[in-house]
Amino acid sequence: MTVRERLRPWWALLRWPFWLGLGLLIGFGGPYTWVLNQRVAQRFGDLEFSQPTRVYARPLALTAGTPMNAATLRQELRFADYTPSQDARVPGTWNENGDSFVIASRGYADPAGGELPRRVHVTLADGQVRGLFDLTARRPLAAWHLDPARIATLYGAHQEEREVVHLPQLPPLLVNGLQAVEDRDFNSHIGVDFSGIARALLADVRSGSLAQGGSTLTQQLVRNLFLDRNRTLVRKLNEALISVLITAHYSRGRILDAYMNEVYLGQQGGQAIHGFAAGSRYWFGRPLAALRPQEIALLVGLVRGPSYYDPRRYPERALQRRNLVLHEFHETGLITRPMLAYALAAPLGVTPVPRLPRDRFPAFMDLVRRQLQQDFSAQRLRAGALAVYTTLDPAAQLDAEDALDETLASFGSRGAALQGAVVVTDARSGAVRALVGGRDAGVPGFNRALDARRQIGSTIKPFAYLVALAQPQQWSLAS
């Protein structure tokens, strides 16, 4: 009996189910794919990432002769989230030796132009700045500005912390390292990596657990942008189909660009941290360009699970994951063996607390919000993505808060029930440098500096007397 003759009985049984299934696939799957393709093209083609509105204090202007002492400069640096360092070579750090400071600035851009990143030597003497020297360009500076401190974040329709960046702005080690760890065949697969799924299944069978999922970067992006987290067969099929459609329509660079800005990397209260740029500031207090290999490895490692590998809560897990990523970097030729050894010996290096200020000075921010509501529509404010530069002087603000506390305390027990307010303005420009709305300066509440209305008291008496005396037939001074 031939093979054909052996298969004939089976084909007789399966023929109608086969043609029925094929008909359903073409009749339903074709239109479904077409509709899904239209939605994907519209959603991904017009993709815009939400960004919050960030509010900044004024940049600190320094020139020879500017009043300044070591304590105040130190306070300004800490307020701008600079950290002490032995050599002050990483942007966002400083080194102090008496009245001599070396500051590695991060640079910034504002409506007035801003400053480029540089290392600056600041010398103080007799309560003022004696000199400025640019260690990067090896020349004296006539004037220099320290980048402004971020004092608040205003979230609009989306509670997402994000700083949009594009591939040319990202460190090559981050771009290549992410692919080496999460999706080595990113540049060749069709959105779904069947060989990767097979490798993941084999690894899961060997380990006896579901440790690896085999998802490509495109699938991870689709999951974040289009789908929920339910582990159902329908969701997985949609995820695979959308990934194939996106890969067919858009370049790898466009997909990777979107992934870099959408990936979830942590949570601060109600704010979700999305994108590597925001993740860098959240975990390290520095921009991506200032990160070292071991810090980039930690960010890449957090992609697998920011909560599980949280370096502040579970440092041992995070360290193990970071070191695993570093070994992946070395195996794929991204870092040398000496670099690997140095990075493995380095601490995690995350900041003790998150660097995303919500509202440092509620009373001053009341003034800012009122001004924004005058200048922008409610729809524009909900959209976010604004950078607001204010006139706040952080040192003056802190001094004003301390002055109010000391004044109220000076009344002893009588001052326990007293309240007060402080407004400090620039005598020349009228700019508001500090504003305190009550004795609990850090707690939102009634803003006495803006909303308190003084009782008129005896101020009204001359006007009341004038009206009475204008009627001599009824009233006199004796009355």
Residues 423 and 436: their CA atoms lie apart, in Å, by 6
Closest to 93 measured CA to CA, from 268, 287, 273, 277:
287
* Residue 358: count of CB within 10 angstroms of its CB: 16
Task: Of 326-330, 384-388, 389-393, give the lowest mean pLDDT range.
Answer: 384-388
54-103 residue pLDDT tens:
999 999 999 999 999 999 999 999 988 888 888 898 888 999 999 999 99
Average pLDDT over residues 105-123: 91
Q: Is the pLDDT of residue 41 over 70?
A: no
Tokens of 149: 């401190």
Q: Is the pLDDT of residue 132 over 90?
A: yes
Task: Of 157-171, 191-205, 330-344, give the lowest mean pLDDT range.
Answer: 191-205
Q: Is the pLDDT of residue 45 over 70?
A: no
Average pLDDT over residues 383-412: 92
Are residues 54 and 388 in contact, defined by beta-carbon separation less than 8 angstroms?
A: yes
Residue with tokens 């010996």: 345
Residue, of 360 and 47, whose pLDDT is higher: 360
Strand (E) or helix (H) holding 434: strand 432-436
Average pLDDT over residues 293-313: 95
Catalytic residue among 182, 239, 328, 401: 182
Residue, of 11 and 217, whose pLDDT is higher: 217
Are residues 174 and 265 in contact, defined by beta-carbon separation less than 8 angstroms?
A: no
The helix/strand/coil state of 104 is strand
The verdict on whether 295 is a catalytic residue reads: no
**% of the chain residues with pLDDT over 90:** 48
Angle at 24 between CA 20 and CA 25, to 5 degrees: 115
pLDDT at 25: 52
Using DSSP bridges, classify how beta strands 119-125 and 60-63 pair: parallel, antiparallel or unpaired.
unpaired
Are residues 200 and 214 in contact, defined by beta-carbon separation less than 8 angstroms?
A: yes
Average pLDDT over residues 384-398: 92
Are residues 203 and 211 in contact, defined by beta-carbon separation less than 8 angstroms?
A: yes
pLDDT at 268: 83
User: Residue 211 — pLDDT band, cuts 50, 70, 90?
Assistant: very low
The helix/strand/coil state of 386 is coil
Residues 224 and 219: their CA atoms lie apart, in Å, by 9
| Helix %, strand %, coil % of the chain (to 5) | 45, 15, 40
Q: Map out the domains of the chain with their CATH numbers.
A: 59-147 (3.30.2060.10), 160-345 (1.10.3810.10), 362-457 (no CATH)
User: Residue 366 — pLDDT band, cuts 50, 70, 90?
Assistant: very high
The verdict on whether 85 is a catalytic residue reads: no
Catalytic residue among 188, 377, 410, 458: 458
Average pLDDT over residues 119-135: 96
Residues 122 and 132: their CA atoms lie apart, in Å, by 5
Mean pLDDT, the chain, whole residue set? 85
Task: Of 107-116, 233-242, 248-257, give the lowest mean pLDDT range.
Answer: 233-242
Are residues 301 and 322 in contact, defined by beta-carbon separation less than 8 angstroms?
A: yes
User: Residue 343 — pLDDT band, cuts 50, 70, 90?
Assistant: very high
Q: Is the pLDDT of residue 52 over 90?
A: no
Q: Is the pLDDT of residue 4 over 60?
A: no
Residue, of 205 and 202, whose pLDDT is higher: 202
pLDDT at 175: 94
Q: Is the pLDDT of residue 209 over 60?
A: no
Task: Of 36-45, 183-192, 200-209, 348-357, give the lowest mean pLDDT range.
Answer: 200-209
Q: Which residues contact 458 (CB under 8 A, 6 or more apart)?
A: none
pLDDT at 434: 96
